[in-house]
């Protein structure tokens, strides 16, 4: 599906893969983000080739260095917002429980939903859920956050809020973000657009 892809994302970049549906945007994102490993060629994350990693090391890499934000919020429905944010941190196990909880609260606060922390996520609105998943992606301070149509399932008002927050993260915290989107109404402030058509990157 993907052909002759040669792409480097640098630290601190806010990049977006854009293109019509069926162009292979999501596939490219999944390959780059370690989810899809059935590719030909090389995907080098930091200095490791993803195919060489065992499942265990791969899990470690995702836990420590990668944050995910999906179109459908992918939260554990029976857990509170705070629980969901803490999950990757608990797995990493680097912070004591109290500090981790405090840090998770900070992330929720950063996204403006600290007051929803103890609610179950299935009681939250779509926009709030997406912000919880952004907070979750941030908790372990990953090297990169992959977003798959993060605003695709939101109304324009909420989409704008989420989009502003992502932009904010790159500007103020130097967070590297690679995003897939087909919504070009917010693309003006993105550092770099990667145009994809029929599995190939269009040169600009």
Does residue 95 touch other proteins according to CB under 8 A?
no
Does residue 21 touch other proteins according to CB under 8 A?
no
Does residue 51 touch other proteins according to CB under 8 A?
no
Q: Whose Cβ is closer to other proteins: residue 122's or residue 185's?
A: 122
3-state secondary structure of 116: helix
Other residues' Cβ atoms within 10 Å of the Cβ of residue 71? 17
Does residue 72 touch other proteins according to CB under 8 A?
yes
Residue of 200, 175, 133, 142 lying closest to 15 (CA atoms): 175
Q: Whose Cβ is closer to other proteins: residue 83's or residue 190's?
A: 83
Please tell me the distance from the alpha carbon of residue 137 to that of residue 123, in angstroms, as a whole number. 20
Kindly tell me which residue out of 42, 55, 188, 204 binds other proteins, with binding defined by CB under 8 A. 55
Residues in binding contact with other proteins, number by CB under 8 A: 36
Does residue 105 touch other proteins according to CB under 8 A?
no
CB of 94 to other proteins, least distance (A): 12
Please tell me the distance from the alpha carbon of residue 107 to that of residue 34, in angstroms, as a whole number. 25
List all residues 6 or more positions away from 184 whose beta carbon is below 8 Å from its beta carbon. 18
Other residues' Cβ atoms within 10 Å of the Cβ of residue 57? 12
Residue that the structure tokens 């070009």 belong to: 184
Kindly write down the DSSP assignment for every residue of 113-127, as one continuous string.
-GGGTTSBGGGS-HH
Please tell me the distance from the alpha carbon of residue 181 to that of residue 38, in angstroms, as a whole number. 23
Does residue 60 touch other proteins according to CB under 8 A?
yes
Does residue 45 touch other proteins according to CB under 8 A?
no
Kindly tell me which residue out of 35, 53, 160, 197 binds other proteins, with binding defined by CB under 8 A. 35
Q: Whose Cβ is closer to other proteins: residue 85's or residue 190's?
A: 85
Kindly tell me which residue out of 75, 111, 162, 166 binds other proteins, with binding defined by CB under 8 A. 75
| Cβ atoms of 148 and 74 closer than 8 Å | no
Give the torsion through C-alpha atoms of 126, 182, 178, 13, to 10 deg.
-120
Does residue 173 touch other proteins according to CB under 8 A?
no
Kindly tell me which residue out of 39, 43, 51, 70 binds other proteins, with binding defined by CB under 8 A. 70
- Binding interface with other proteins (CB under 8 A): 26, 30, 35-36, 55-56, 59-64, 66, 68, 70-72, 74-76, 78-80, 82-83, 86-88, 90-92, 97, 101, 136, 140, 148
């Amino acid at each position: 599906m993907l052909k002759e892809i040669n792409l480097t994302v640098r630290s601190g970049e806010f990049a977006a893969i854009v293109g019509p549906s069926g162009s292979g945007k999501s596939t490219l994102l999944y390959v780059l983000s370690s989810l899809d490993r059935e590719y030909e060629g090389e995907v080098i994350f930091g200095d490791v080739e993803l195919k060489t990693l065992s499942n265990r090391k791969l899990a470690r890499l995702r836990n420590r260095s990668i944050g995910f934000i999906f179109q459908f919020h992918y939260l554990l429905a029976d857990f509170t917002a705070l629980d969901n944010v803490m999950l990757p941190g608990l797995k990493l196990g680097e912070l004591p429980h109290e500090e981790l909880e405090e840090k998770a609260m900070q992330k929720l606060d950063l996204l403006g939903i600290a007051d929803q922390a103890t609610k179950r996520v299935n009681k939250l609105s779509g926009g709030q859920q997406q912000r919880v998943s952004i907070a979750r992606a941030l908790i372990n301070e990953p090297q990169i956050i992959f977003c798959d149509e993060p605003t695709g399932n939101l109304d324009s008002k909420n989409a704008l809020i989420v989009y502003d927050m992502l932009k904010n993260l790159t500007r103020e915290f130097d967070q590297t973000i690679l995003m897939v989107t087909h919504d070009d109404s917010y693309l003006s402030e993105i550092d770099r657009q990667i145009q994809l058509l029929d599995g190939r990157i269009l040169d600009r």
